[in-house]
Amino acid sequence: MSNSRAFSSEDYTVGWICPLPCELAAAVSMLDERHSPPLAQCNVDDNNYVLGRIGAHNVVMTCLPGGSKGKVAAAVAATRMTVTFGSLRFLLLVGTAGGVPNGKDVRLGDVIISHPDTRCGGVVQYDFGKTVQEGRFVHTTTLNKPPRVLRNAVSALLVQYMCRPAALSIQLSQIVKKAGYSRPDSETDVLYESSHDHPLEAKTCFRCDTNKSLQRPARSWDGPVAHLGVVASGDQVMRWATRRDELWGELKMDCFEMEAAGLMDDFPCLVIRGISNYADSHKNNAWRQYAAAAAAAYARELLGIVPGGLAAKIPSIVRGEMDSGKEMTVVRGLLWRATPDGMDDGVAKQQPSLVSGKTFAHAGPEGFMDCDSIEPDCPITDMEVFDAPPPGLGSPESGSVPHSPV
C-alpha cells in the first residue's frame, strides 16, 4: 500500500538500518504503508532510502552500500541518515547474525535483541582491547546500552507474551508468512559439534558427518524465538566454532555481527538480529532470508509497543540529548566521564562496565548510586575519578564493584 501524501523529512522519527539488501527487502515487507520518495537529501547524504509507516511511526530505512560492511560503514550511513532526517528519535539495526548456541537454546531463525545485563550494555566489541603479558588479550571497551524508550518497549513486549511463551513466536511466524517468507525445513537446522569442521572448499554440508551433529529437543512450535542477549560486534566474519566457543567462555555473547559497534556509542540504538547460521565453518545462506524476516517482524512488533506520541516527545538524535546522557559509570575502577561533543551542561554518557556490569552515578549529597536505580533525570552534580570503589558500594570480592585499574 502506498501513500501519495507529501511528507517532509521532519515527519520521520524512526531510523531503520539494515547491513544487507536482502535484509532491507525483509524490512520493507513489514511496512503498513509506503511513502513516495524522493525527499531532498543533504549534499553529503548518498544513502538510498525507503520511506513508510509502521503503526504510528513514520520510518526511514536504508541498507549499506554494496560491498560495504562493518562498523564504519554503519556509522557513516547512520550519520548521513540523521543529517537528512533531523527528527529521528532512535535507530534500529536490523539484520542477520551468526548465533552462539552455547548458552541459550539459540536456533536458526531465532531473534537476538541486544539487552543490557550485569556485564555490558548489550553489545560488546570483542576485537577491541589490548595485548598484555604472555600474549593475553584484554577487552577494554564498553558500549552504550539502548535508549530507555526501547528498553521499556522490549520489556513491555516481554510482559505481553510472558504468560504465553509461544504466542510471540506464533505472532512473528504469522507476520513473516504474511510478508511472503517461508521457513526452511527444520531438518536443515543442523548444529555440528564444535570440533567437526566443514571440509575446505566444499559448498554444501553433503560430506559433513551427521553423526557429529548435536541432538536437541524438538520445539513444540516452528516459529522464531526471541532472546534478549548480548551481541558481539567485530570487524571479521566469525565462522569457526573453536574460536566462537573460546570467546563465549569469556564474554557469554549470543550472536556475532559486524555493525553494532559503530552505532551504540553515538546513536540511541537497539540491535535486532535474526540467526542465520551458527558462526561456524558450516555457515551458509539457506536461512538468511527467513532470519532477516524474523528480525524485521520482531522490530515491527516492537514499534507497535512504542506509542507514536511518546516517540515524538523524545529529543531528536541531532540535538544530542540521548536519554542515557545523564549517567556516569565505573569502568575497571575508574569513574568515566564521556561528555558528548558540544555539550557542556554537566551530563555524561553512560558506559556500563564489562568487568562488573555495574554503572554508578554521582547523585549529589546522597553519594554514589547504582545507575539502574536512579531516574534518568537525576541531576549529576559532581564528577570525580576513582581508582578504588566508592565507599558503601560493596567490596571488590562481592563482584559488585570492579577494583583493578585499567
Give the interface with Zn ion as residue ranges (CB under 5 A): 198, 205, 208, 282
Kindly tell me which of 113 and 205 has the beta carbon lying closer to Zn ion: 205
Kindly tell me which of 136 and 207 has the beta carbon lying closer to Zn ion: 207
Least distance CB 198 / Zn ion (angstroms): 3
Residue 297 · residue 176 · CB < 8 Å = yes
Least distance CB 207 / Zn ion (angstroms): 7
Kindly tell me which of 277 and 350 has the beta carbon lying closer to Zn ion: 277
Least distance CB 219 / Zn ion (angstroms): 23
Kindly tell me which of 145 and 198 has the beta carbon lying closer to Zn ion: 198
The three grid cell numbers given for residue 378, joined into one nine-digit string: 537525576
Least distance CB 202 / Zn ion (angstroms): 7
Kindly tell me which of 139 and 283 has the beta carbon lying closer to Zn ion: 283
Per DSSP, what are the bridge partners of residue 50? 61
Tally of CB atoms within 10 A around 91: 28
Kindly tell me which of 6 and 200 has the beta carbon lying closer to Zn ion: 200
Least distance CB 191 / Zn ion (angstroms): 11
In the bound complex, which residue of the shown chain has the CB atom lying closest to Zn ion?
A: 205
Strands 14-18 and 57-63 come out as parallel
Kindly tell me which of 119 and 288 has the beta carbon lying closer to Zn ion: 288
Phi, psi (degrees; rounded to nearest 5) at 78: -65, -40
Kindly tell me which of 176 and 205 has the beta carbon lying closer to Zn ion: 205
Dihedral of CA atoms 235, 241, 245, 246 in degrees, nearest 10, equals: -60
Tally of CB atoms within 10 A around 142: 27
Kindly tell me which of 208 and 291 has the beta carbon lying closer to Zn ion: 208
Kindly tell me which of 208 and 371 has the beta carbon lying closer to Zn ion: 208
Per DSSP, what are the bridge partners of residue 255? 99, 231
Least distance CB 205 / Zn ion (angstroms): 3
Least distance CB 292 / Zn ion (angstroms): 22
Contacts for 16 with CB less than 8 Å, ≥ 6 apart: 27, 59, 60, 61, 62, 91, 92, 94, 299
Least distance CB 353 / Zn ion (angstroms): 38
Strands 2-3 and 33-35 come out as parallel
Least distance CB 209 / Zn ion (angstroms): 9
Distance CA(184)–CA(289), nearest Å, equals 10
Residue 376 · residue 401 · CB < 8 Å = no
Least distance CB 246 / Zn ion (angstroms): 20
